[in-house]
Amino acid sequence: MPADTLADKEAERWNHRPSVGVPLNPLFSWPPSPLAVVNWYRGAWLQITAITVPFLIALAVYFWFLPPLEQMRTLQAGWIFRLWLLNVIPQSLVAGGLHWYLYIRKGQGMHKKFDKRDLTRNNGMFTFNNQVWDNIWWTLGSGMSVATAYQALIYWVMANGWVPVMAFGDTPILFLAWMALIPMWSGLHFYWAHRLEHHPKLYKHVHAVHHRNINTGPWSGVSNHWWENALYYTTYFVHLIIPSHPLHLMFHSYFQQISPVFSHCGFERLAKNETDLAKAGDFFHQLHHRYFECNYGTSEIPFDKWFGTYHDGTAEATERTRAFKKQMYSK
Ligand SMILES: [Zn+2]
Ligand SMILES: [Zn+2]
């Protein structure tokens, strides 16, 4: 079948497709393009994005609400419960706020919405027969509990001085460099953990919970099965290996938990009166939810390109992805 016929066939299934396709971090492109790299990082760190929102939340929570390390020297229910609330409340505000604006108030209608369909109700595939309630349960009940357990363990180890803790005053450049590298580490860990979850057996029993959401919404971001959460949040244990400050773990936590709210929200941009205000969804991951065996990582570190699983939004890539899936499941 010629590629252009395929392209038309797939185009019908989208309400909106970004005109720029699916860009990857130019840091890894050859020949080098320093200007493109500067623009990529300026776009990520100097606007309202899935990086800056978690960073600002981390700063606010760190200075106003995180218990001091001395208090976390002994494992106690009081401060662990507070950590759980510090996960649940920002998650609910961001996912709930975006869900309210985009899907209840329909504040921008279908403007920049990828999928033509609305979220699913009365469908037995979802817990409580409802996509949104299903996603809220797996996010707050399962996800935030596992994340809290891992964070508590790491703060407890840091508080007891069993691993070196980095101080801003001693090495400010290293401190900031490590902060800036966290999204890349997260992307690296995610690619491999996620590929493992697509092993047909793990997929069927575990990762399928996340993939109930073919048409995703803000609450779908970290709507994962218990075992998937147990693996997904092991990314935090890097702070036991690389000397870190509690603020590094805090930013990492909100990045890991809140940036998927944006990437799954289903709209490319947030807008008011058809004027785009901020970046939101991520077509890269939207394609993963539609075609499954592609774009396992993030656009921050292009493992998919290097390992042949990159879907750039074209009909050829769809064809290649379908062939790969067929081959994977025929084994
Ligand atoms: Zn997946
Ligand atoms: Zn997803």
In the reported structure, the alpha carbon of residue 281 is separated from the centroid of ligand 1 by a whole-number distance in angstroms of 16
Ligand with minimal distance to 292 CA = 1
Among the bound ligands, name the one nearest to the CA of residue 223.
2
User: How much distance in Å is there from the Cα of 34 to the middle of ligand 2?
Assistant: 31
Number of structural domains found in the chain: 1
* Contact yes or no for 103/95 (Cβ under 8 A): no
The H or E element that residue 275 is part of is: strand 275-279
Distance in angstroms between the alpha carbons of the first and the last residue of the chain? 26
For ligand 2, the distance from its centroid to the CA atom of residue 301, given in whole angstroms, is 17
- Cα(231) to centroid of ligand 1, in Å? 13
What is the distance between the alpha carbons of residues 321 and 295, in angstroms, rounded to a whole number?
10
Longest CA pairwise span in the chain (Å): 66
Q: By the 8 A CB rule, do 49 and 254 touch?
A: no
Distance CA 329, CA 326 (A): 5
Q: 189: closest CA among 95, 49, 300, 268?
A: 300
How far, in Å, is the centroid of ligand 2 from the Cα of 285?
Answer: 6
CA distances in angstroms from 189 to 22, 25, 61, 238, 249, listed in the order given: 21, 17, 25, 10, 15
Cα–ligand 2 centroid distance for 223 (angstroms):
8
Which ligand has the minimum distance to the alpha carbon of residue 293?
Answer: 1
Q: Is 191 helix (H, G, I), strand (E, B) or coil?
A: helix
Q: How far is the CA of 106 from the centre of ligand 2 (A)?
A: 22
Q: How far is the CA of 214 from the centre of ligand 2 (A)?
A: 9
Distance 210 CA to ligand 1 centre (A): 7
Per-residue pLDDT of the chain (331 residues; tens, 9 = 90+): 344 445 557 788 889 988 767 889 999 998 999 999 998 898 888 888 899 999 999 999 999 999 999 999 999 999 999 999 999 999 999 999 999 999 999 999 999 999 999 898 888 899 999 999 999 999 999 999 999 999 999 999 999 999 999 999 999 999 999 999 999 999 999 999 999 999 999 999 999 999 999 999 999 999 999 999 999 999 999 999 999 999 999 999 999 999 999 999 999 999 998 888 888 888 999 999 999 999 999 988 899 999 999 999 888 999 999 999 999 888 7
What stretch of H or E contains 271?
Answer: strand 269-272
Domain extent, residue 231, equals 3-330
Residue 222 CA to ligand 2 center (angstroms) comes to: 7
Count of C-beta atoms within a 10 Å radius of residue 54: 26
Q: How many angstroms separate the alpha carbon of residue 326 from the centre of ligand 2?
A: 21
Strand partners for 70: none
Q: How far apart are CA 143 and CA 87, in angstroms?
A: 10
Q: What is the DSSP letter of 2?
A: -
The rounded Å distance from CA 72 to ligand 1 centre is: 35
Ligand 2 mean position to 282 CA, how many Å?
10
| Centroid of ligand 2 to alpha carbon of 225 (angstroms) | 12
Residue tagged 């990762």 (tokens) = 207
